[in-house]
Amino acid sequence: MNRQPNSPPTRRSWMQAALAGAAGLLATRPTSAAPLEKGAVVLFQGDSITDARRDREQKEANDPLGFGYGYPLLIASRLLEERAGDGLQFYNRGISGNKVPDLDARWQDDALDLQPDLISILIGVNDIWHKLNGRYDGTVERYETGYAALLERTRMALPDVRLVVCEPFVLRTGAVDDSWFPEFDERRAAARRVAEQAGATWVPLQETFDAAVERAEPAYWAADGVHPTMAGHALMAQAWIEAVQP
């Protein structure tokens, strides 16, 4: 997945957008605390939706420049505020354009070596988008078996890790047309099977966005059908917190 075709935001503009989104989330937060132990390490992984133009040179925990402007920043900001003094550590290692094989190739350095207590993964839209563009030939079966193997590898290395699998999603607007279906739905179903087999928490993002289009047109949530807008990232962050919390 390539980054959105607009001009890169300035540091000031994306920080303003992210902070405004975080403020909205804080206003509606539930009363229950996030189920994380003190000192827990949380890692976000995925493609450009997770990357969100983060500064990849910033690798320290809880560094806002290392998070970009998307849902990982909103989630981390909210939980750090709620759990002030608990020593929570958040990392974002999403990379634009990644597919499942790309995650696998960098998994040791960008996931296992961080020894996270919770890994949240959103991956799958590039596995079909790049195929439609003629730059990849991966099948639904390859997506599912590769994803399952990645989670099994993670369980073997980190037996106590909590896995969170975010549902791949698209909206019918921009780059997304009928050619994406029914294969995209098959890939969503595959991701859910992988999550269930791995005992992972499932974050129902497609369901969340489908409900949201009843309130505003698809482009309001994801201008090109894939990359969320500010409102879309806030929606994702809320869905993630609701799914991960008891």
Cα end-to-end distance, the chain, whole Å: 32
CB atoms within 10 A of CB 175: 17
CB atoms within 10 A of CB 133: 11
Number of residues that make up the chain = 246
Q: What's the CATH fold of domain 11-244? A: Rossmann fold (3.40.50)
What separation in angstroms does the CA of 153 have from each of 53, 79, 81, 112, 240? 28, 28, 33, 9, 24
* 51-56: average pLDDT: 97
Residues 34-43: tens digit of each pLDDT: 478 999 999 9
Q: What is the pLDDT of residue 15?
A: 44
Q: What is the pLDDT of residue 2?
A: 46
Residues 131-145: tens digit of each pLDDT: 999 999 999 999 999
Residues 202-233: tens digit of each pLDDT: 999 999 999 999 999 999 999 999 999 999 99
Residues 6 or more apart in contact with residue 141 via CB below 8 angstroms: none
Residues 143-196: tens digit of each pLDDT: 999 999 999 999 999 999 999 999 999 999 999 999 999 999 999 999 999 999
Bridge partners for 91 per DSSP: 43
Residues 3-20: tens digit of each pLDDT: 444 444 444 444 444 444
Residues 6 or more apart in contact with residue 156 via CB below 8 angstroms: none
Residues 66-122: tens digit of each pLDDT: 999 999 999 999 999 999 999 999 999 999 999 999 999 999 999 999 999 999 999
Q: Is 101 exposed, middle or buried (0-12, 13-18, 19+ CB in 10 A)?
A: middle
Beta strand residue intervals within the chain, DSSP E: 41-46, 89-92, 118-122, 162-166, 201-203
